[in-house]
Structure 1
Amino acid sequence: MTRTVEVDPARLDRWVEGFGARHDGVTRADGPGTVVLTGGDGATATGERFEHQRIGLVLVRRGGYAVGRDEGGDLLAHTCGTAYVQSRTKKGGWSQQRYARRRGNQADGVLDKVREISLRHLGRGAVDALVLGGDRRMAEQVLEDPRLAHLRDLPQRTLWDLPDPRLVVLQEAARRSRCVRLEISD
């Protein structure tokens, strides 16, 4: 059985002690940016650290967006907003195609807005790493903009399980971005 947990870096040593208590001791063999634990009963926990001073966050879904810059654990610059993208209709024929075009145009408007905000908050040299969250397809479409090419090559972490972006969600994503993500095999 394999599962993934996220552990705050400040709590990692305490978590390792608990892992050792649950698995008959622990052997720790960390590498650069990695954590490798082996329990006395054969259980393993391997993970990666995401240690970057300046992290850019781009969260986007059809219902909203949030873009921010986190430096050393403090969310310094951010913009959040909501957007209306019409839901699907069950009507057929010409109306269905017209509504599909309207939904597409509304989604494109959200993407354009997120691109502009990303340029403002996450310009060249402003961040060392990037966190993408929300809707995978929409987040990847944001990065297709040639003006944001500098963000594509940065170390990335993804948080696709986030709800509609709001300030609280952005703050939680910033916190989670710094966590050590461990995959545990019992």
Structure 2
Amino acid sequence: MVTARPAAGGGRWVEISPERLRGWLDGFYGRHDGAEEDGLVLTGASNGDTARLCPPPGLDGVTDVDALLAALPAPPRIALLLARKGAVGVAVVDGTTITASKVERFHIHGRTAAGGWSQQRYARRRDNQADAVAQKAADIAARVLLPSAPGGAAAPDDVAAALVCGGDKSMVDAVLADRRLAPLAAIRHPHLLEAAEPRLAVLEEAAVHARKVRIHLVP
């Protein structure tokens, strides 16, 4: 499956399933009467259009198209952290198969229509609840994900190569601020997945989405 959306600063992002990448590349070469390759950047010979390929999380060491195509069939293990103020979901993923996971929902008071002192009191309560949720979410991440983190108890072949995050960035940042999760924060992938409130089906969808190759097309 291929999805596309506008890119900040121009062009558009295309996200493509690994098994479709070779066909997509053939199409790019065909539409541009060939292309020049410079690492992971393709430049159309006919009009100068460019396509910059971003390898999936865990394949950051890949530096050219041939190496990317060779690496995609055997993706490394990754960790997933999806967080919103009302829920957290974590998983360890081999390929697109979740081997360990945990989803937890939390209750946070909504906003009040009252003003003045009452509104401030509710705001403080929500802030306190958000802090408590971040702490509980960090506990869950530590329990499920840390064994697969670098320096953890996992065998070398079972160590997660990247942490992929999704959902609410501020909530993710709050969870990863926990010092225990420093080994996971160190392998955090910069791209934040869009994700609904975490539940098992959302984790499964994110596991598939995280494996897609992102391509920045200009124009």
Q: Same fold (TM over 0.5)?
A: yes
* 1:120-135 correspondence to structure 2 within 5 Å: 120-123=143-146, 124-125=149-150, 126-135=159-168
SS in 2 for 1:122: helix
Whole-Å separation in 1 of the counterparts to 2:87 and 2:215: 29
Note if contact 1:68-1:75 (Cα within 8 Å) is conserved in structure 2.
yes
SS in 2 for 1:76: strand
The yes-or-no answer on 1:41 pairing with 2:47 is yes
Whole-Å separation in 2 of the counterparts to 1:25 and 1:155: 38
Shift of residue 41 of structure 1? 2.3
Match of 1:6 in 2: 15
SS in 1 for 2:100: strand
The yes-or-no answer on 1:105 pairing with 2:128 is yes
Whole-Å separation in 1 of the counterparts to 2:83 and 2:217: 29
The ranges of structure 1 where at least 4 consecutive aligned residues each deviate by more than 3 angstroms after the TM superposition are: none
Whole-Å separation in 1 of the counterparts to 2:214 and 2:36: 16
Q: RMSD of the TM alignment (CA)? A: 1.8
Structure 1: tracts of 5 or more residues without a match? none
Whole-Å separation in 2 of the counterparts to 1:141 and 1:28: 43
* 1:1-186 correspondence to structure 2 within 5 Å: 1-21=10-30, 23-27=31-35, 29=37, 31=39, 35-39=40-44, 40-50=46-56, 52=58, 53-123=76-146, 124-125=149-150, 126-186=159-219
1:40-79 CA deviation, whole Å, 9 max, x = no partner? Answer: 3221110210253111111101122111111232111111
1:77-136 CA deviation, whole Å, 9 max, x = no partner? Answer: 111122222222232111111111121122122212211111112114342211111111
- After superposing the two structures, state which structure 1 stretch, 131-140 or 147-156, moved more: 147-156
1:142-161 CA deviation, whole Å, 9 max, x = no partner? Answer: 11111111112215143342
Give the direction of change, closer, same or farther, for the CA distance of 1:176–1:90 in structure 2 (3 Å limit).
Answer: same
Structure 2: tracts of 5 or more residues without a match? 1-9, 59-75, 151-158
Count of paired positions: 182
Whole-Å separation in 1 of the counterparts to 2:200 and 2:210: 15
Note if contact 1:157-1:177 (Cα within 8 Å) is conserved in structure 2.
no
Whole-Å separation in 2 of the counterparts to 1:155 and 1:19: 31
Whole-Å separation in 1 of the counterparts to 2:111 and 2:95: 42
Note if contact 2:82-2:203 (Cα within 8 Å) is conserved in structure 1.
yes
Note if contact 1:6-1:180 (Cα within 8 Å) is conserved in structure 2.
yes
- After superposing the two structures, state which structure 1 stretch, 86-95 or 55-64, moved more: 86-95
Identity of aligned residues (%): 42
SS in 2 for 1:86: coil
* TM-score (normalizing by structure 2): 0.76
Note if contact 1:159-1:173 (Cα within 8 Å) is conserved in structure 2.
no
